[in-house]
């Protein structure tokens, strides 16, 4: 039986909630975030996006692009409440709901509670109910697997719906720009371009062995999705793949002692979060963002879970290995590769926290 998968993605979720709750903001370029020199945009309305403003952009860059940008402080409790309302709608149709974040989720409606044969009809009903209950719009993608449904939901945003039927899968994937592939980030796209891979059809030139040679564990995933294959199930109880903590500093760090002190603070915070999560991981990753927004990471993986003492030692090692030759804007530490978990290609490790 062909699976029927829907991907629902709320349109500019945080910013749309702000425009809904404050009518004077409607039709205006609104962002959620701080307007300070060191602020970062958490979400941007479609009016703001017309000026090239995007989430994760530095606020000062966003203001240069749109001087009349309107900044709203985040209200995460409100966003979580609205997200819960939306999930209630999902569960009217299926218990196979896999949230990726507050504003998007996969649904498997192959066998749904209402006995509706058409996944397109289910998606249409869900979109309408979301609008009626929250006064917010959502975009939907419908297809035979998670990869295709995710890509489809991006085709007609905002407030759109796109269906990729089984007979159209290969033609669709072959013409899809590689940057549109779910799991292909900026660095992977650059590497693919160096290999003269620009669209899905270009991936078909590479056999599985060559894909794994160039892209490691993710090679199997790229090989499959180039052929429209994605057997991953919709998992209602998806567990976190990592526990991390990071801090953006009010002033750039330039002194070695300052850096070591901040690493100790991060380590202490990470230990508390690990204790709360009950997780034990074997990989520690250091994240460094410099004053020019260049970002690097360094990782260490052990055979056994990293305890508190090893965490301190590894953090010091990672700092020594990192080329800290510029003022530092942000530092972060993350534990992953949890004890007993199945390995999964990095490209598939989806975020389930807030999207920034």
| Domain residue extents for the chain | 168-225, 242-340
Specify the pLDDT at position 101: 87
Is the pLDDT confidence value at 15 over 80?
A: yes
Q: Are strands 30-33 and 70-72 parallel, antiparallel or unpaired?
A: parallel
**Rounded percentage of the chain residues whose pLDDT exceeds 70:** 94
CB atoms within 10 A of CB 8: 26
The mean predicted confidence, pLDDT, of the chain is: 89
Q: Tell me what the mean pLDDT of segment 315-320 comes to.
A: 87
CB 17 within 8 A of CB 32: no
CB atoms within 10 A of CB 98: 22
- Cα(214)–Cα(205) distance, rounded to whole angstroms? 13
Q: Tell me what the mean pLDDT of segment 241-251 comes to.
A: 86
Specify the pLDDT at position 260: 87
Is the pLDDT confidence value at 302 over 90?
A: no
- Tokens 């489809």, residue located: 152
Specify the pLDDT at position 353: 30
pLDDT in tens, 150-204: 999 999 999 999 999 999 999 999 999 999 998 888 889 999 999 999 999 999 9
pLDDT in tens, 341-356: 544 443 333 322 323 2
CATH topology (fold) of 168-225: DNA polymerase; domain 1 (1.10.150)
pTM recorded for the entire structure: 0.75
Least confident of 55-64, 176-185, 196-205, 304-313: 304-313
Return phi, psi of residue 178, to 5°.
-60, -30
Specify the pLDDT at position 340: 60
Indicate the pLDDT class of residue 238, thresholds 50, 70 and 90: low
CATH architecture designation of domain 242-340: 2-Layer Sandwich (3.30)
Specify the pLDDT at position 346: 37
- Cα(249)–Cα(65) distance, rounded to whole angstroms? 24
Specify the pLDDT at position 171: 96
Is the pLDDT confidence value at 110 over 70?
A: yes
The residues that are catalytic are 104
Q: Which residues pair with 108 in a beta bridge?
A: 5
- Cα(268)–Cα(260) distance, rounded to whole angstroms? 12
**Residue with more model confidence, 196 or 217:** 196
Phi-psi region of 135 (alpha: psi -120 to 50; beta: other; left: phi over 0): left
User: SS3 of 328, please?
Assistant: strand
**Residue with more model confidence, 306 or 202:** 202
Q: Mind giving me the DSSP string for 175-235?
A: HSBGGGSTT--HHHHHHHHHTT--BHHHHTTS-HHHHHHHHTTHHHHHHHHTTT---PPP-
User: SS3 of 307, please?
Assistant: coil
């Amino acid at each position: 039986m062909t699976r029927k998968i829907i991907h629902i993605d709320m349109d500019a979720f945080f910013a749309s909630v702000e425009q809904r709750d404050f009518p004077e903001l409607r039709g205006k370029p609104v962002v959620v975030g701080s307007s300070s020199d060191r602020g970062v945009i958490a979400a941007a309305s479609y009016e703001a996006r017309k000026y090239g403003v995007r989430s994760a952009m530095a606020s000062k860059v966003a203001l240069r692009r749109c001087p009349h940008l309107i900044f709203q402080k985040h209200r995460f409790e409100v966003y979580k409440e609205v997200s819960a309302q939306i999930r209630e709608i999902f569960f009217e149709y299926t218990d196979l709901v896999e949230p990726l974040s507050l504003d998007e989720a996969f649904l498997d409606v192959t066998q749904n509670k209402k006995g509706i044969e058409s996944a397109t009809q289910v998606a249409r009903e869900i979109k309408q109910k979301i609008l009626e209950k929250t006064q917010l719009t959502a975009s939907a993608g419908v297809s035979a697997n998670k990869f295709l449904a995710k890509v489809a939901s991006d085709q007609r945003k905002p407030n759109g719906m796109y269906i990729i039927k089984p007979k159209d899968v290969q033609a669709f994937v072959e013409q899809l720009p590689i940057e549109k592939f779910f799991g292909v980030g900026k660095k992977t796209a650059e590497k693919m371009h160096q290999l003269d891979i620009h669209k899905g059809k270009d991936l078909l030139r590479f056999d599985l062995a060559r894909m794994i040679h160039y892209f490691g564990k993710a090679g199997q995933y790229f090989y499959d999705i180039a052929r429209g294959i994605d057997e991953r199930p919709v998992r209602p109880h998806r567990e976190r793949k990592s526990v991390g903590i990071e801090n953006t500093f009010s002033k750039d760090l330039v002194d070695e002692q300052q850096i070591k002190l901040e690493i100790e603070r991060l380590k202490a915070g990470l230990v508390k979060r690990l204790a709360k999560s009950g997780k034990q991981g074997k990989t520690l990753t250091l994240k460094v963002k410099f004053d020019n927004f260049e970002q690097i990471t360094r990782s260490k993986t052990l055979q056994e879970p990293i305890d508190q003492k090893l965490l301190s030692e590894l953090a010091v090692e990672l700092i020594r290995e990192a080329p800290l030759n510029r003022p530092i804007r942000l530092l972060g530490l993350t534990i992953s590769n949890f004890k007993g978990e199945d390995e999964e290609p990095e490209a598939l490790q989806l975020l389930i926290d807030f999207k920034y």
